[in-house]
Chain A
Amino acid sequence: MTSTAATMIVIGVLFDLMGTIGLVRLPDVYNRLQAATKCVTLGTCLILIGLLVRNGLDALGMRALLCAIFILLTSPVGAHAIARGAHLSGVRLWEKSVGDAYLDHRQSEGSEDVHAETQTP
């Protein structure tokens, strides 16, 4: 294994570890979501690109590249769906957050599905 591929795999794994530490340590759902999604997605993509660098453009490397592109496309979509679902189901932000633009937008539209109940994080 080349040292470039080994370095990329080690950096990707450390990105995964940082993302999950953020998942444990941050205060509410939305902060945890951005830490976990960004760090873990890019870390796993870096591991897959490391496998591509190790193998070159053969069958295994191309499948690793395909998997990396697929994760890069789908993980932000999933994170957006989770954040929207959490906001619509009534989970409020951390009490030290400075603004909630989506709640202001929904209230200015007079949307009828602004939930009254509050799940405190």
Chain B
Amino acid sequence: MSLVDFVVVVLVVASFLCLYRIGRGPTVPDRIVAIDTLGTLIVGFCVVMTLATGKDYYINIAIAWALLSFIGTLALAKYLEGRPYHD
């Protein structure tokens, strides 16, 4: 079992734990926390794709994904406060 196999298996298990919290989570902020965590885990997946394939463009996808995940988290938190976006 190589390093990439081990890392992929552990990250898939962690992602399924996040999906459990997204589906089960009793309140709305639980789901938002799990979505944010899943976005950070996908950055780790992009690094593992770089290691597995040797293609270096996956790290560009990781940077763009981190930016979009951050903006989405801020928008969801504003929605949670129940206030307009320009506040």
**A residues at B contact (CB < 8 Å):** 1, 6, 9-10, 12-14, 16-17, 19-21, 23-24, 29, 32-33, 36-37, 40-41, 43-44, 47-48, 51, 54, 59-60, 63-64, 66-67, 70-71, 74-75, 77-79, 81-82, 84-86, 88-89, 91, 119-121
B36 contacts A78, CB within 8 Å? yes
A-B contact number at CB 8 A: 153
B62 contacts A67, CB within 8 Å? yes
In the complex, which residues of chain A have a beta carbon less than 8 angstroms from the beta carbon of B53? none
We find that the number of chain B residues with CB closer than 8 angstroms to chain A is: 47
Given contacts A66-B63, A82-B80, A89-B82, contact A41 B40 (CB under 8 A): yes
Q: List 13 A-B contacts (CB under 8 A).
A: A9-B51, A10-B6, A13-B7, A19-B37, A23-B17, A32-B30, A66-B63, A71-B43, A77-B74, A82-B29, A82-B32, A89-B82, A119-B27
| Supplied contacts A16-B14, A33-B33, 8 more A-B pairs, CB within 8 Å | A1-B51, A36-B34, A64-B47, A67-B43, A67-B63, A74-B70, A78-B74, A81-B78
Name B44's contact: one of A37, A47, A59, A75 (CB within 8 Å): A47
In the bound assembly, the distance between CA atoms of A70 and B66 in angstroms comes to: 8
